[in-house]
Structure 1
């Protein structure tokens, strides 16, 4: 009797020794390995923004917009675009894990639900940081951009934008029937964010009746504030033919960014509410 109960008795405290950070770390390492082993996720989630930036930004090196180099302007826009490609991979990952019953099995263990998503979000966030280093380095070294004028505002905006799109990925997984159908959900989001959020060109180049709605899309305020934080100028009203935007000190930079940060916060809150209503731990089919 004692030989049977002793291993069991030892195993219970051993499980209790695992903390929330340990569970989250395990999910992080798993998501990290899966990301880099999957060629599709590596291309979309890491290489796509970098390659698109080289193709689109390089020809703009001799132009200027809002008082800054247009190629650097576009490159900072693509830093915002990395959040969209991260959204696509998170959406695919959550749906695939749900359909493979991984989420259902994890839900039945002692692993906290928050640790499951913290690990996935952490791995996706680490990829975004790598892309920021690559794209930011390109802007500074190749296109002659200055270092960020307000690193704190830049990091806050990047973090807020990442959380917005990560939570949105979890929410929209609830209406995604399967991993195969995930592109039907992800592609429209990608295209709208790519062409209607000021990633490549200022929103003023769009038809006038579209500019107002475009400014309130989830990515537009992120891109606008990333540029304000990086260049220290009040972006949002620039155009290809406009004069240089005035430089802002730190206080006025935050004041200029306040509205955009509120829009990001509102979208994040809406995505969280949507996620609570739509997210499923089990497959939608069968």
Structure 2
């Protein structure tokens, strides 16, 4: 009896940060799978594009690895861009529907709001990675990842980059109807200049340097280095096979690309702090 009275006097327990983040995660997860548009863009599009693009490349090689598997790992990186599109749409829609404003007025921490939403998007990316990785190994005959830790670091770093970029650009997006106009240039730039399907060396020489600084390019390069155990970045359709690299040399080669990813993430975070809004834009 006294224990019961003590509980009553203390008042109801609050879920705490993990509970709030879990609630936001479950909400975002349900909304994602119930929305056909977000399910198609955020989950099916990279898988379907990979099947269309990579299947005809079976039997060909790039830098000593199967071209179909090479392309499939590129589409794992492309999944980060489709995740960015859904996050951008989701943040802008929640802002315009005043969901973010109402959450801001509660005891739910801002970090828990975004941790839950990022967590749901990250879970979708992991699921896509399993699907695309399975296609690469089972259908296209790729080996298992040579350096799983480096692969996970590159995937996590790339996801955080595009997740923070989505929040930052949401502040520059007038409304939900304008979100596609903001997201599409990023999608096209990463698709055609990120080395998703073809080596960057296949582009005009004067573009190759700047293209390496496109947000997706260092992510895809590091994912391939980690998966195939070779120092990717200078490969070409007709060039020689790249020599295998041990774990140490793989990390050394990936270091500049990881620094570019970190720089992009830091820049997006600064942009987000400056422009992100909890309420709809006025005027």
Shorter-chain TM-score above 0.5: yes
Equivalent positions of 1:167-186 (< 5 A) are 167-186=164-183
Task: For residues 151-201 of structure 1, give each alpha carbon's deviation from its aligned partner in whole angstroms, at most 9, with x where no partner exists.
Answer: 000000000000000000000000101111100000000000000010010
Question: Which of 8, 11, 14 is matched with 1:13 structurally?
Answer: 11
Say if 2:247 is the partner of 1:250. Answer: yes
Q: How far apart, in 2, do the equivalents of 1:98 and 1:130 lie?
A: 27
Equivalent positions of 1:1-286 (< 5 A) are 10=8, 13-14=11-12, 16-285=13-282
Task: For residues 13-69 of structure 1, give each alpha carbon's deviation from its aligned partner in whole angstroms, at most 9, with x where no partner exists.
Answer: 31x431100000000000000000000000000000000000000000010001000
Q: How far apart, in 2, do the equivalents of 1:180 and 1:130 lie?
A: 28
Q: How far apart, in 2, do the equivalents of 1:225 and 1:10 lie?
A: 55
Query: CA separation of 1:145/1:11 partners in 2, compared to 1, >3 Å: closer, same or farther?
Result: farther
* Structure 1 alignment gaps of length 5 or more: 1-6
Runs of 4+ in structure 1 over 4 Å off: 9-12
Query: CA separation of 1:105/1:66 partners in 2, compared to 1, >3 Å: closer, same or farther?
Result: same
Q: How far apart, in 1, do the equivalents of 2:94 and 2:275 lie?
A: 16
Q: How far apart, in 2, do the equivalents of 1:94 and 1:48 lie?
A: 20
* Structure 2 alignment gaps of length 5 or more: none
Q: How far apart, in 2, do the equivalents of 1:210 and 1:202 lie?
A: 12
Residue 140 of structure 1 and its aligned partner are, at CA, apart by 0.1
TM-score, structure 1 length as denominator?
Answer: 0.95
Residue 224 of structure 1 and its aligned partner are, at CA, apart by 0.1
**Secondary structure, in 3 states, of the residue corresponding to 2:11?**
helix
Residue 11 of structure 1 and its aligned partner are, at CA, apart by 9.1
Q: How far apart, in 2, do the equivalents of 1:18 and 1:74 lie?
A: 44
Query: CA separation of 1:11/1:90 partners in 2, compared to 1, >3 Å: closer, same or farther?
Result: farther
Task: For residues 107-141 of structure 1, give each alpha carbon's deviation from its aligned partner in whole angstroms, at most 9, with x where no partner exists.
Answer: 00000000000000000000000000000000000
RMSD: 1.3
Q: How far apart, in 1, do the equivalents of 2:10 and 2:86 lie?
A: 36
**Secondary structure, in 3 states, of the residue corresponding to 2:207?**
helix
